[in-house]
Amino acid sequence: MRGSLDRFVMFYGTPHRALLSGFIGYCTLIIGLQISPPIFGVVLMFAALAASWRASGNSLSERMPAVALLVLVALSGILNDFRLVGVVATAAFVSTPVIAAIGNKTQSRVLTQTRRVMVAWLPASLTAASLTVLAFRDSSSVGLLLSLVYVHDLGLGLGMRDRSRRHLAPFIGIGGALAILWTSIQISASPISPTWFWPFALLVGGAIPLGRIIMRLVSFDSGHDLQRFSSYFLVTPLWVWTINLLFI
């Protein structure tokens, strides 16, 4: 049982060597958010590129289609219109199989390349675009989500440094994120009222781990680049949708 849990943690977790880059990325995003939403959107786009750069292939020619689609969708958020983001993302989604078919003659290779390109641009670009639009409307909720994900990944990485207690790492990460959520609500640092703590705690406590697992399962990337981003994958759209529905 203990061995199975340790294997799951290694599959799920974040290498502790990524903690420094995570701290630099978090500080950079917070600074961009404090300057202005457009600046934040550009910084977020570069962060998404850094996470997805190697996920679509080994050569520059293999990476460029995913990079172009990612930049296009991510920057659409600067125009502060969820509908425009949806239109641009849909067009990029439809064009992905067509792009993947170029130079690939067999159906299996087309399907494999389509999946590779889709995974490389879709999650990161939609995260960047949706957070950018939300930053125009309520920057405090964006800052809170960035902090929740950072504290989760920090606790996860620190927990994995101790081999004897590595199995506790996921719980340390989630516990830290929920502590930050509770504290922010108590000091009114976000639009979330105290009565909404438990629904948001369930959202954060469920969506972050599930998003990491899904990204790990569908990703071709063995260098953990997308794993550094994967905590945002599922929680971001749910967070943005819920904040817009309830408080904006």
- Kindly report, residue by residue over 171-205, the tens digit of the pLDDT: 889 999 999 999 999 998 888 989 999 999 999 99
152: its two tokens: 């989760």
Give burial (CB, 10 Å; 0-12/13-18/19+) of 110.
middle
Q: For 222, what's the count of Cα atoms within 13 Å in the CB-facing half-sphere? A: 1
Q: How far apart are the first and last CA of the chain?
A: 46
- Kindly report, residue by residue over 142-168, the tens digit of the pLDDT: 999 999 999 998 988 888 777 777 778
pLDDT for residue 223 = 46
Phi, psi (rounded to 5 degrees) for 118:
-60, -45
Task: Report pTM.
Answer: 0.89
Q: For 23, what's the count of Cα atoms within 13 Å in the CB-facing half-sphere? A: 9
- Kindly report, residue by residue over 117-137, the tens digit of the pLDDT: 888 888 889 999 999 999 999
Inter-residue contact 77 to 130 (CB < 8 Å): yes
